[in-house]
Amino acid sequence: MATTADIRNGLCILFNNDLFTIVDFQHVKPGKGPAFVRTKLKNLKTGKVIDNTFSAGHSIDVQRVERRPYQYLYNDDLGYHFMHAETFEQLSLDAAMISSADLLKEGTTVEIPYHTETETPLSCDLPQFVEMEVTYTEPGLRGDTASSTALKPATVETGAIIQVPLFIKQGEKIKIDTRTRTYAERVKE
């Protein structure tokens, strides 16, 4: 068993009969009273982030999580289908396990964390940035800006709608940040 001295970012622990990963932590040693560790824990199944405080020396149950590379194939009524990059084994995931599923394009390489004790997939992590072609957007008119960061909606090739700057035109390729679902930059060809 590990203790709070072993806590680090990215560590996966069993807490309240659920798997959590440590997003952030801070060791606090107040002038009066015992030391403690303040943490932010992210539930690996739901994605919800909670705050928790452990007293110093509290034992924690560390779990082993393995990240495996998969390639996105297609989706249908049964879910989203992926193929392991090395073994070619296929896997189907429910849409609820994938954040920003509408940004998945065929052939995209993703990482799927597995709980090694139960061999169950926990979620699906998209790459930080994806490149997509804008299939539809209204033309941006000069003078439409109320501020320096005027945005307009654009539909990309997977059907997702992203807010882009006014100078982006239909047919251009853009880079999208999958964590925040925002426009990052225009792709130069």
Instruction: Tell me: do 29 and 70 sit in the same domain.
Output: no
CB 101 within 8 A of CB 80: yes
Instruction: Tell me: do 12 and 33 sit in the same domain.
Output: yes
Q: Considering 62, 77, 106, which residue would you say is the last residue of a domain?
A: 62
Q: Considering 121, 144, 169, which residue would you say is the last residue of a domain?
A: 121
Instruction: Tell me: do 57 and 43 sit in the same domain.
Output: yes
How many domains in the chain? Answer: 3
Q: What is the CATH number of the domain that holds 77?
A: 2.40.50.140
Q: pLDDT tens digits for 100-114?
A: 889 999 999 999 988
Instruction: Tell me: do 100 and 54 sit in the same domain.
Output: no
CB 161 within 8 A of CB 154: yes
pLDDT for residue 146? 55
Instruction: Tell me: do 78 and 112 sit in the same domain.
Output: yes
Q: Is residue 32 scored above 60 in pLDDT?
A: yes
Instruction: Tell me: do 58 and 79 sit in the same domain.
Output: no
Rounded CA separation 43/147 (Å): 38
Instruction: Tell me: do 171 and 182 sit in the same domain.
Output: yes
Q: Considering 100, 121, 142, which residue would you say is the last residue of a domain?
A: 121
pLDDT for residue 100? 85
Instruction: Tell me: do 169 and 151 sit in the same domain.
Output: yes
Q: pLDDT tens digits for 61-115?
A: 999 989 899 999 999 998 999 999 899 999 999 888 888 889 999 999 999 988 8
Q: Is residue 144 scored above 70 in pLDDT?
A: no
pLDDT for residue 40? 94
- Quote the domain boundaries for residue 174: 130-186
CB 148 within 8 A of CB 106: no
What one-letter code names the amino acid at 71? Q
Instruction: Tell me: do 142 and 115 sit in the same domain.
Output: no
Cα dihedral across residues 116, 117, 121, 125: positive or negative: negative
CB 132 within 8 A of CB 173: yes
| Two structure tokens written together for 146 | 């109320």
Q: What is the CATH number of the domain that holds 6?
A: 2.30.30.30
